[in-house]
Structure 1
């Protein structure tokens, strides 16, 4: 295969404003496409906010808590059940006059198709029924078709207050429909890119069995959208790239207090100072742990790398941790995913 240009977009949300965040996303997608990118990767929870410093007390809820959770739900987005592999744009359900519930999802499909890119976006996803929120990542192909959706299995620490947990499959909202459960640990073959694409969100990448599940599914382009701006993140990405013998693309937000509404509690507490809440650190890493692009710190921007799927096989000369009948050592270990 010819090398493919990938782009990691380090950009902050217009927090709690879904339409404005999508508008900003399209501007960056257009720039990345003009720069030759065929895959454009956005950070964790880009649509429409990583709820940084939003606090709730155990055993006590206030009117302010409920106000901000309501704002969060309003600015989240819904993804249709069973949309994977379905041409949503060409159906009546996806038309301008129908499917208003999924208007934001439809807009993302249009953006990917318009700019002829594969689009990976971290979203705050609202359940079809009720107001449960999930930290999810979706991958849309250059025809505007959803290839995969992954909901964070276990939100980290206090994230669990506002985000729900998920399981190995995404169940349809309504029993008895034609929709079937979909894989929540997906790795999808993208022939035009020459890669099997999968990934984990933020600190899911510190869960060894969850990483291994993707290795066993043959991931060769591993996406790691994050909200972690610590200097320890880059060596973690290098470790994963070398462990899985996979390319890794990690995108984070460069986020400031001014990205949030003026009455957002943490911004009020900042007393008018435009503090940096996330420095970024987006990067692209080769299967041998070489940093191909980044890390990018302290600014919004796009980093690019040209990657070649043919490099994967050579990288496995000395290590193939999930190779069935070989490095996997199935005579010693047993691995299974409950579905």
Structure 2
């Protein structure tokens, strides 16, 4: 059995050191309760600026919005950098596999990313969100197909789909074709439809789905932004390969745990393998473009 955890917690906006302190607390708590894998939410290290407009309308940007974006950029991380080194050190010390959402600064462009960090290998994968959603396109760059890899680890094959990437059918098929076993879905989407989608993906892909959603409170914002900064309401969950809830959703900040029987993946594929006998390659052809 593989014991896993998902974190339902928020960033402390514009404050990386305090956010990393919160991440460390979550890691230590998860490890103390026997978890071998912990999944952290989307943009956990760097922050998800829900509700901010950055002073932008079509054809116009304000000076105040530009200054707010500068503050947001200053709170992003380099990868590799001191923050990823801190996460690697935690993973090694606690013998804990981590999947962590973050906001990466590369040059002067920001990317929403998710990292796979192993106890002995450090950062073994970085995925940049392929398709920022809605107003996210104003603050985050577009990821490339070369980061859509499933990673073989000692605890299973880990794949990542950030938030609404989970709604991209061909993205899902790309991960299915790579034999994803632990589907990690960092998100900020707390809606009922998201819960339905996570169950569908687990059932469709015959994989375990670990969805970690931020629980962002007004108190997590700087004082000058608390009146306009939004909240995020969690409802993380863990789902089995047959679409059954193993943990969650819950409404309060917490760690959710589940013990996974990895043999359930093969049992589920007895009657549905969308990358194998149920894919009908004689009729359909899937050719991902990663260039």
RMSD: 1.2
Alpha-carbon offset, residue 190 of structure 1: 1.1
What is residue 74 of structure 2 aligned with on the other side?
Answer: 74
Q: Choose which of 5, 8, 20 in structure 2 pairs with 1:7.
A: 5
Rounded to whole Å, the distance in 2 between the matches of 1:269 and 1:137 is 27
Rounded to whole Å, the distance in 2 between the matches of 1:59 and 1:257 is 30
What is residue 185 of structure 2 aligned with on the other side?
Answer: 224
1:290 aligns with 2:244: yes
Rounded to whole Å, the distance in 1 between the matches of 2:223 and 2:268 is 49
Pairs aligned (count) = 288
Unpaired runs of 5+ in structure 1? 81-101, 170-183, 271-275
Rounded to whole Å, the distance in 2 between the matches of 1:253 and 1:155 is 17
Matches within 5 A, 1:256-275: 256-264=217-225, 267-269=226-228
TM-score after normalising by structure 2: 0.96
Q: Do the aligned residues in 2 keep the contact of 1:111 with 1:144 (CA within 8 Å)?
A: no
What is residue 40 of structure 2 aligned with on the other side?
Answer: 42
Alpha-carbon offset, residue 257 of structure 1: 1.6
What is residue 181 of structure 1 aligned with on the other side?
Answer: none
Rounded to whole Å, the distance in 2 between the matches of 1:268 and 1:32 is 33
Query: Structure 1 residues 144 and 21, CA, compared in 2 at 3 Å: closer, same or farther?
Result: farther
What is residue 160 of structure 1 aligned with on the other side?
Answer: 137
Rounded to whole Å, the distance in 2 between the matches of 1:268 and 1:228 is 21
Rounded to whole Å, the distance in 2 between the matches of 1:4 and 1:289 is 18
Alpha-carbon offset, residue 268 of structure 1: 2.8
Rounded to whole Å, the distance in 2 between the matches of 1:134 and 1:65 is 18
Query: Structure 1 residues 200 and 318, CA, compared in 2 at 3 Å: closer, same or farther?
Result: same
Q: Do the aligned residues in 2 keep the contact of 1:282 with 1:294 (CA within 8 Å)?
A: yes
Unpaired runs of 5+ in structure 2? none
Rounded to whole Å, the distance in 2 between the matches of 1:125 and 1:16 is 13
1:151 aligns with 2:128: yes
What is residue 272 of structure 2 aligned with on the other side?
Answer: 319
Matches within 5 A, 1:234-249: 234-249=195-210
What is residue 119 of structure 1 aligned with on the other side?
Answer: 98
Rounded to whole Å, the distance in 2 between the matches of 1:143 and 1:334 is 38
Q: State the secondary structure of the residue aligned to 2:187.
A: coil
Alpha-carbon offset, residue 318 of structure 1: 1.2
Q: Do the aligned residues in 2 keep the contact of 1:110 with 1:144 (CA within 8 Å)?
A: no
Alpha-carbon offset, residue 77 of structure 1: 0.7
Alpha-carbon offset, residue 269 of structure 1: 4.1
Runs of 4+ in 1 over 4 A off after TM superposition: none
TM-score after normalising by structure 1: 0.83
What is residue 151 of structure 2 aligned with on the other side?
Answer: 188
Rounded to whole Å, the distance in 2 between the matches of 1:48 and 1:24 is 12
Q: State the secondary structure of the residue aligned to 1:105.
A: helix
Q: State the secondary structure of the residue aligned to 2:246.
A: strand
What is residue 132 of structure 1 aligned with on the other side?
Answer: 109
Moved more, 226-235 or 207-216: 226-235
